[in-house]
Amino acid sequence: MVTPIGAHLSIGKGLKSTADAAVEKGLEALQIFLRNPRGRGARKLSADETDYFIRVIEENKIGPVVVHIPYICNPAAAKPDVYEFAQQVITEDLERCSLINADYLVLHPGSYTTSSPEEGIDKLGGLINQVLENYEGRTKVLLETMAGQGTEIGRNFEELKLIMDRIEQKDKVGICYDTCHTYAAGYDCSNETGIKDILHKMKTSFGLDKIYLVHANDSMKELGGARDRHAHIGHGFIGIEGFRALLTDSFFSQFAFILETPSEGVDADVTVLKELRMKQ
Ligand SMILES: [Zn+2]
């Protein structure tokens, strides 16, 4: 199987033009927000635009289709109103995923802020269990690996294992591996030896079968820097050789690689990743 290369695109001009842009850019997988990433509220999606989106995506064999939850959501929040807002958005977006046939809904595990990591993990697990209780669609929820900024949870594989342990419907929840975040958290994917070590650590923590997707971003910050700053491929510490090693690794190359690099320059990143996956 050839590793699908995709990117996060804006839906600012509507779902129809997003689908057209994905085709025009030669994307083989796609990630979008289904609402304004930094604001509240979501526009209703018309059948006309969802039908068009689904048709164009299918005709061009683009997949997986991924929806990302807005960054302002904190599903591990100590404050009740912040927590309830996150639950409402995740519930709504999961339903909206069904309207566009999305494969995955990706979310950041959140920050424990004034409580403790244990409490944050417990709150997040509880929220996901509740959201999934009444959900009958096929979209899977994926938790993203985090850089460990501030009080973020999901900063290491042990914490992700604790979160996964808390999940009741285990077949509906997985993990999205973000290369920039994990690098900043101290997992070195810039060379083959480092990648072997990462695979071993995943196997002995949450388990390799939990991974469904890769977020392919280079890192502006150094290994273990605990800062989340995405760089264009080859312009950060992971580098071209790191992405070559990831794309030729028999485990990582099974999953779609979705770019979340700044939109100017993302076309070049798509080209680079497509070239790297061919070379051994
Ligand atoms: Zn990401």
Domain segments of the chain as ranges: 5-278
Question: What digits encode the pLDDT tens for the residues 25-60?
Answer: 999 999 999 987 666 667 789 999 999 999 999 999
Q: Using the mean position of ligand 1's atoms as its centre, give its distance from the Cα of residue 112 in Å.
A: 19
Read off the pLDDT of residues 95-108 as tens digits, 9 standing for 90 and up.
999 999 999 999 99
Give the CA angle between residues 94, 100, 103 to the nearest 5°: 65
Question: What pLDDT does 196 receive?
Answer: 98
Q: What CATH code is assigned to 5-278?
A: 3.20.20.150
Distance in Å, CA 178 to ligand 1 centroid: 5
Helix (H) or strand (E) holding 126: helix 117-133
215 CA from centroid of ligand 1 (Å) = 5
Three-state DSSP at 178 gives strand
Average pLDDT value for residue range 61-85: 95
- Whether the ω angle into residue 117 lies within 30 degrees of 0, i.e. cis, is no
Give the pLDDT of residue 279.
Answer: 60
Tell me how far apart the alpha carbons of residues 274 and 272 are, in angstroms, rounded to a whole number.
5
DSSP-derived letter for residue 38 is T
Give the whole-angstrom CA distance, residue 8 versus residue 30: 6
Output the pLDDT for position 199: 98
Give, in order, the Cα–Cα distances in Å from 95 to each of 92, 131, 132, 176, 247.
5, 10, 11, 20, 32
DSSP H/E element including 219: strand 218-219
pLDDT single digits (tens) 115-128: 999 999 999 999 99
Asked if the model's pLDDT at residue 152 lies above 90, the reply is yes
Give the residue-averaged pLDDT of 176-197.
98
